[in-house]
Structure 1
């Protein structure tokens, strides 16, 4: 029995040794190679994120010209794009009703003045009679009251006459300042109401570049920032300006705020309604900027993978984001100039992993 078991024991030992050797070779083969990653060496930028918004040129002062009385418009002598002068008549209403009212007011004043003359003469007679004792105090008081009533009627008639005269003048729509017509609200032949916009006038003078800006950008923008404005179809035509007005309430649909930038000496090519681009830096403090693709999350906070160049391993580090755009992220804290950050392949890394650097440009 002992002699028969000897050869089988030798075979079993040989097979076990071969299996162990194979497992060792497999373990060595499964050791992962360093993962290739794309990186950059970070550095502080020149002073914050540069953002661009698109808007349009508008007049700083726009007015809606309208009649102060209603009626049928018989003439409109200005159209969109026309230049008008101060005092120029730009539209007219049919004045017939106003002229009839004026004639009625004049007749009422004439009648009231006649009544006043009669009442004044009556009171003068009563005044002389009571001085001589030939009339009663009641007659004297009645004459005085009649004179006062007649005087009040004259005052009322004069006021009505002034209103009628003004209404005749209001049938002419007059431009109160020079400017350019930018819109019209009624055509000749229409019956218009008092206060209805007939023409919209961009008064001659300053121009604004108007933009719709998110609230985050308003908070990040430095005070009294100089904004560079250029034509969208011709970037060589530029002007500068500062924020002149910010809407106190956000648009209910877009949740953006209307910002008006007063332009300093805009060129003639920046006509009313032209599409323009405005550029401004959100912060004057230098800030490290990294590609948005480098951003990940750890512990519910923004983070990046930082490479230890001596050991060629990565570590996850939380950062504080100062600004954000679809292309770049401004880092307020958490990184130092000269550190190497992974910009591509961040989803497949784990702390302490060996990496192979594909690019380390700043």
Structure 2
């Protein structure tokens, strides 16, 4: 029994003196990588838009009233001076007749005052009247003449009001919109007809500010019909909106088309293509992109220790296959492109492909 106890004690002493086993070393996780390098790239950017008239005007009456007739509809072609709509003219016609009567009365009063002045002038020369009566006759004649001038001006204003009851086209064009129907009471200045004047046509696009900043100066835009790519035209930027749309945060850009084909009718859907300038860019596969703090990020490999760190990057643009990075990476750095979802900061990795 004593020998058994002594043997157990000796075994325990030997176990206590033996060195502790080292913890198992975690295997390096295999990943695929790419070495970041700059390259020259000039991508093409496409946008959807529509055809609009280069010169479009909203026409309305100068006075208010009840719309009696609208002689045109959307899509009709009109010529200069053609009547587009009419207001009921009864009130204006009554005012015109009143102005005509006032002018006739003023002219009669002027004749009478002129005759009286002539008589007083003759009597004064013969010494049969006084200077006071002569001056009064002269004043009456001048007052009557002024009243005639006032009546003539009122008659002209009344005729203008009558003419304002008819809305006429100021140039040739196509009606693109109407704003009132017969029977409605309309206020002065309300849009009754929108007229696209004949002449140039614009392709109108809504473009993000990022593209505007990186676009070349005086670019040539290739435009084609969305439903028929064979109908094409080219144009240059004619106007850029000063303020972004409050909802989409895009800027409206008008491209003046050069000799557009007839098939590019007003309102037609078109696609514009802009070739960006070739500039040095840092491009990585889209599979390398992940997120941290709700921001784009990539895993960067330290070539010396073969460990990874997560770093935020700034994305200029992206598509399903690749990402163009504008900040956060430098040329020569190694980025993980496959296996990004199974990594954690400081983890050792084993490079499978694209090893620097």
The TM-score with structure 1 as length reference comes to 0.81
The residue number in structure 2 matching 1:66 is: 60
Distance across 2 between alignment mates of 1:321 and 1:228:
30
Distance across 2 between alignment mates of 1:227 and 1:360:
39
The residue number in structure 2 matching 1:223 is: 217
Please state how far the C-alpha of 1:260 moved relative to its aligned partner. 1.8
Please state how far the C-alpha of 1:150 moved relative to its aligned partner. 1.1
The Cα offsets for residues 266-312 of structure 1, whole Å up to 9 and x where unpaired, read as 33333222233333355542322224553568999976444577x79
For the pair 1:157 / 2:151, whether they are aligned, the reply is: yes
Distance across 2 between alignment mates of 1:306 and 1:293:
14
The residue number in structure 2 matching 1:201 is: 195
The residue number in structure 1 matching 2:324 is: 329
Q: Does the 8 A contact of 1:319 with 1:335 survive in 2?
A: no
Q: Does the 8 A contact of 1:314 with 1:355 survive in 2?
A: no
Number of residues of Structure 1 aligned to a counterpart in Structure 2? 352
Distance across 2 between alignment mates of 1:266 and 1:111:
61
Change (3 A) 1:41 1:190: same
The residue number in structure 2 matching 1:250 is: 244
For the pair 1:313 / 2:306, whether they are aligned, the reply is: yes
Q: Does the 8 A contact of 1:287 with 1:332 survive in 2?
A: no
Distance across 1 between alignment mates of 2:329 and 2:62:
65
Q: In the alignment, which of 338, 345, 354 is matched to residue 349 of structure 2?
A: 354
Distance across 2 between alignment mates of 1:188 and 1:298:
62
The residue number in structure 2 matching 1:184 is: 178
The TM-score with structure 2 as length reference comes to 0.82
The Cα offsets for residues 99-119 of structure 1, whole Å up to 9 and x where unpaired, read as 332222222211111111111
Cα RMSD after superposing both structures: 3.6
Distance across 2 between alignment mates of 1:102 and 1:269:
49
Please state how far the C-alpha of 1:80 moved relative to its aligned partner. 0.9
Please state how far the C-alpha of 1:75 moved relative to its aligned partner. 2.2
Query: Residue 123 of structure 1: SS of its match in structure 2?
Result: helix
Query: Residue 192 of structure 2: SS of its match in structure 1?
Result: strand
Distance across 2 between alignment mates of 1:106 and 1:159:
11
Change (3 A) 1:176 1:266: same
Distance across 1 between alignment mates of 2:327 and 2:259:
37
Change (3 A) 1:77 1:285: same
The Cα offsets for residues 214-271 of structure 1, whole Å up to 9 and x where unpaired, read as 3333333333222333333344443332222222223333333322222222333332
Of 91-100 and 114-123, more deviation after overlay is shown by 91-100
Please state how far the C-alpha of 1:148 moved relative to its aligned partner. 1.5
Of 125-134 and 9-18, more deviation after overlay is shown by 9-18
Distance across 1 between alignment mates of 2:192 and 2:165:
13
Query: Residue 287 of structure 1: SS of its match in structure 2?
Result: strand
Distance across 2 between alignment mates of 1:206 and 1:317:
54
Distance across 2 between alignment mates of 1:162 and 1:360:
88
Distance across 1 between alignment mates of 2:285 and 2:127:
110
Q: How does 1:38-57 map to 2 (within 5 A)?
A: 38-48=32-42, 50-57=44-51
